[in-house]
Structures are given as C-alpha cells and as structure tokens.
Structure 1
Amino acid sequence: MASEQRSGGGAEMELGLFLRARRTQTSPDQVGLTVGTGLRRTPGLRREELATLAGISIDYYVRLERGKETRPSPSVLDALARALQLDDAEHQHLRELAARAARYVPEPPPPPSRTVRPHLKLVLETLRPSPAYVISRSMDLLAWNPGGLALYAGLDDWPTGQRNLARYLFLHPTARTLFQDDWDELVRGCVARLRGVAGTAPDAPDLTHLVGELLLKSPDFAKLWERYDVIGRKRVQKTFHHPRAGDLTLSGQSMHLDGTPGQRLGVYTAEPGTPDHDAMLLLDLAASPPAGHPDTKAEQQHRTQP
C-alpha cells in the first residue's frame, strides 16, 4: 500500500489494481477462450480479451485499470464481474471500490479508536478458560483474557502497542512453529482480510502503517498482497503446536462487535472433558498470576487497556 500511495495511489487506483489482479489471475481457458500456440507474454487475460468478454471498449477498460475512469456504471461492473467469474464476495468488493472511487477525497481519515468498552472486557473474563480477545480492523490486539494472549506463543514478548495478529503471523519467529502446516492457509486468509479492509479505506493510517511495515519486512506478505485476494478460506478448527500446552485443536469463532469502529471478538473453544479442553485450561492457569500476587492487578489492567 505504501508503494501505491507514493505513486499517487488512492481510492481511484484501488479499483484498477483490483481489476488488474483479477485479470492476470484469470486464464483464457477459465473463461472459454481458445488461444493459439504462440508465446503469451501477458499472464492471464489480455486487456482487450477482458474488454471483449465484458462488452466494453478497450480504451474504456484501460482507463478503468489505470485509474483514469472512476465512475463505471453498475451494468459495467456486473459485466466485468461475470467476465472475471468473481464470486459474490469479490463482486461486492468491486462495487464498494467503485463507489468509493466515485466519491474519493484525498484527506486520510483519522484512525479508529482503540478503546475497548468496559462491558467487553468483562465478557473476555467471563469466557475463561476459553482464549478470547478483541482486535481492531487492522488486527491490533486491543484486549484479551490470559489464554487469549498466551495462545499466540511469544506474542507477550512484544510491547502492548506492537501486538498485532498479522504482524505476529509474518514477523514473529514462533508463528510458523505454532501453526506448522496450517501457516500458509492462515496467512492467505489474513492478507485477504487486510486487502478487503484496505480497499475501502486505502489511506487510513492504521492500515497504511501496518501494510507498509509488512511489505518492507516480509517477502511472503508482499507476494500475497500483490495477488489482491479479498476472500480467504477460514477454518473453523485450528491446531496449535504450543510450547507450553502441547498440541491442541480448538474451534474458533470471530464476530463483529456492534457499535465499535470495526472491532471483532475472537474466541476459541473445546469440548469439556477432552484433552484439548484440558490443555486449554492449563494454558489459562499458566498465564494467570496466582491470587494475591502483586502483579495480578497490574496484569489485569495491562491486558485490557489499549
């Protein structure tokens, strides 16, 4: 995102970037085109091929992709979605990008509040021993219960303001060990979520700072970011290979919190009486200071303050 901004990118460019990414990842075979045996220098569809499939002029499509045309009609968007075989989520994302490009103002909006309401902090404590946390739209960890932080092994080594689940997945040395074979799928879903949010708020500082950092520090993130996927498969169950609790498989659920600036509640559960539940309970107990310990009150405040 940072590189896009330096080249004049913004809402008017996000629409073109999305179209180009989907075009280059759509093969002629996928859309029923027969191609010759000669070498194709363009990955995926050529611009003229997509324009023909969508029933629009080549010049008009080129202006769309280059950010020179920012007011395509709903019928043009629908035609492009059909030609690119977008699913419902991608089609809706295309509409949102076009709507924002049409009303684009260059002033970046302020970052959303990081304040977590007191009753949500109480919810986190009530959910124990299930690991639970509240994250921002850019995946900053805003509040948590003991297991919610301890589940991501090593995350508590970072200062509170640096704790972010996307940053953890790509930059923390423990992340790949924690998730092992599931890491690739998890990071694809993570980038797709950030791409979806950034597409409708490309200049928001909370997103530009995080994405700029990850683009510079993580080649894996940079490759996935260029793909411009806005949906990702999300597993209900995740297996954690935890250095404290051993292997445990938990069912996860994430939900939007009404009345907040994009905050989400994440919680993991296990069936009572199972080894996974026992490991989850052990993790919660190990992460909690003993009653009466002088750090107990400070830790409670620490884990629920933004």
Structure 2
Amino acid sequence: MILLFGFGGVGRTYAELLYERTNVKIAAVFDSGGGAMKKGGFTPAELKKLLEAPRGKVSQAAGRPASIEEALEEAEVVVDVSPPNYSDGRPAVEVYRRALAAGRAVVTANKAPLALYFQEFRGRPIYYKATVMAGTPLLDLARGLPPQRVTKIRAILNGSTNYILTRVYKDGVPEGDAVEEAKRLGILEPDPSLDLGGVDAAAKLTILLNTLGVAIQLSAVERKPLEFLGPVTKYLATWDGAKAAVQPVRLPPEDPLAKIDYTLNAAEVVTEVNTIFVSGKGAGRKETALVLINDTLKALKVL
C-alpha cells in the first residue's frame, strides 16, 4: 500500500502507471489541500475520481479525509513527489521522519530533504533514484562503483538550463527569449531561480556525492548563476576531489559534454581506473514516474 505525498503532474502520472502496470494499490493521497485515504486501497474507479479532481481538492474526491498519521497506519511505503523546499525541507522531511519512525520505507523524487539532510537518512530505507537524472540510472551506476575511488565529476544535471544554452549557441535565440520560451514550455521550475541560480543542479550533485560516500552539504556547493559565455557554454556541476561547484563553463566543441544538447543530461565520472560517460533524459513526467515505480517495487521487496 502506498501513501502518495504530492499529486501534481508527476504524482498523477505515477498513480496512473502504477495501477496500469502493477497490482500495488494507493491507500492515501495528499496534496496542498489535505489528504484522502481508503482502507484497503483505492479502486481503479476511485483513482479515476482522484485524477479528475482539481489541484488541492483530492480530499473531497474519494475515500475520506485523513491525516498523515492515519495514512501511515495503512501504507507500507511513502512516495514523495511534492515540490522541493530548499530552506528546511519541510513538510516532506517531517513526513520522512514520521514514516521511518513507524517502520515504513520512503521513495522520493524530491531532492530537497536529501540535499539538506542526507547524513541523517544514510542507511535508512529511502529509495531516491528519481532525484538525479531520473530517466537515466546514474545513481545505480554510482552505487556500483565502490571500492573504486572517484577522483572527478563533470555533469550536466539540469535539462532546463541546458535547453536554454542550446537554444542560444546552436539556434541563435537571444538568451532572454530562450528563458521565456523555457517558461512557456513548462521546462523551468515554478520558481525559475532554482534552475537559473544552480540550486537544482547543486542539490543533485550533493546527492550524487553523498551516494559515492562524500559527505557534503548543499550549502558547500559553490554556485554561479546561468550565463552565456559564448559557444559552447554548458552549465556544469563539477567535483575535483575537494571542491564542488555549479557554474557556466565554456567547452571546446570536441568535449563529449559539448555535444549534449537541449534537455538531455550527461555525467562524466572519473575513477582511479576508468572514465565513465553516461547521457540520457534527466526528467519528464513519465520518465520520473517509471523510476519511482521501480523504486516502489524494490521498497515493497517485490523486485
């Protein structure tokens, strides 16, 4: 049984695909207006009512209104797709603490709680593959590297800014127009400064490094805002073995990262014995939802 915390685009896509492709049921759904739960899980017909409900109105669509504490009595796994809060991680981080204290697992696409409190949650049943390059299994790769020592990382971890820069240097679109286009397409975060100021990429780099065993906090990642420096500019998340940063960097055309365009992501991970390069989709509703389902099945011990 699932407690779904957040019911925006990704949350609704997750719910649809979960019922379409698995036998797992959702016992409770929470959005900005409160929560609804159903003992034994929502039926497909009830889920349809929830999906048709306006944002903030799920508590009135099916089941009965409920608190997080009530829902945790029914659910085995909390799936968090709520918006990130990089000031203190709330309310999601408090839901994690309650869930873990109750012996439940957490599956998340929300970067903020782990970017802020990774060490608190290390070793706990939190599944977070969807937080970094959701459409491409970078974190699975990272978990498979020890005992290799990672010595360097260069990565494009934010598809929104990569889209903007590609439109500028490849398509000749003025930078301001490219930003406005990204807003219209819904590529940028509701708060664009999270993308344009490097917070999103820094959070992802923080999670990646902690997964590799490097204990670092989000506040330790140096950030410079997005800026076009000429062709080929990429907004890179980097780690040189000591310093972590997110900043615009001008690359030679032959650099593998210079060839990663539009909304694609990529990472170059250098270890003591190898250089590994992966690229692919980093986000998208369906891509993120499918990764969340994969982690959900792992959390339920059925995969």
The question of a shared fold, defined as TM-score above 0.5 by the shorter chain, is answered with: no
- Structure 1-normalised TM-score? 0.25
Higher helix proportion, which one?
A: 1
> Whose Rg is larger?
1
Higher strand proportion, which one?
A: 2
- Structure 2-normalised TM-score? 0.25
